[in-house]
Amino acid sequence: MAPDQRAKTRRRFVQAAVVVGVLSVGRALLPAGSDAPETGGSPRARPRPSAPHTVPSGPVPGGGPAGAAPDPHAYRLRPMAGETSRSGPGASPPHPEVAFHLSTDRREVFLTFDDGPHPFHTPHVLRILRRHGVRATFFVIGENAVEFPELLCDIADEGHAVGNHTWTHPQLTALPPGAVRSELGRTSNLIEDILGTAPDLARAPYGEWDAPALSICNELGMSPVGWAIDSQDWTVPGARTIAHTVLDAMHPGAIVLSHDGGGDRRQTVAALEWYLPRLLDEGYRPIRITP
């Protein structure tokens, strides 16, 4: 069996054990004196999602979601502080400064997707990227990844980078250091358990970093990532507007912010379907971020 096939098999084998393990650990009490915040009652199991529906290939009009989106507050686990293999001996040193552009002497750009994995939108984003043979970077939320570990495996198996976007999407600059370490460390631990490798990239929710959060990010072996182009998809302005926002601002080395979770992202999917082939026609090459 080829090495990458063995890696895929291992990921699929451990993902069920990871969910059980995380749920069990989440029921444990935090150590005395921890300053990580309380996050509600005991976790409860949720049914597995149904297969994704088809998303229209063309742009969709703006406006609110057509159906009820999953409640992001319906699934909470008690945070735990953690360290990862990226912060241990032999780990590559992370970059201390937030990256907004990446230097390149070619027309390379870096598409990023935040707030997933999402059982409806993430598979459609992956389908479009796969069709055009390009790679991207997904900054995942821990509480979503623990619920849909198979999607995390799909992202990695298709050659995309997986980054850390905290466990519950809080504003890190509003948290004490122990809670920041909990949000980032716990998510890194989960990603490492599922994929076999801890993330080496992190993005703060809302792009808000401060010195303590950056220091903790680096201690956990991750380089912080921002963005140069905000697609503004989170404002739900319509797929055509999202597409033109990306195309009009595009330049070599740009990091582009989009979302595959956190709400109704059908406009993001439709916009990606429209602007990605145009980027390729203009000679741009989307690739994954590497520290």
Which of 114, 193, 260, 264 is catalytic? The answer is 114
Which of 124, 259, 260, 264 is catalytic? The answer is 259
Which run of H or E residues covers position 121? helix 121-132
Question: How is 76-105 classified by DSSP, letter by letter?
Answer: ---------GGGSTTPPPPPSSPBSB---S
Rounded CA separation 254/102 (Å)? 7
Question: How is 218-279 classified by DSSP, letter by letter?
Answer: HHTT-EEB--SEE--GGG---HHHHHHHHHHH--TTBEEEEESSSS--HHHHHHHHHHHHHH
Which residues are CB-contacts of 62 (< 8 A; sequence separation ≥ 6)? 236, 237, 238, 241, 267
Rounded CA separation 126/140 (Å)? 14
Handedness of CA 47, 157, 229, 219 (dihedral sign): positive
Active site residue 118: no
C-alpha distances out from residue 274 to 95, 126, 240, Å:
34, 15, 8
| 220 phi/psi in degrees, rounded to 5 | -85, 5
Active site residue 259: yes
| Residue carrying structure tokens 């080395």 | 253
Q: Which residues are catalytic?
A: 114, 259
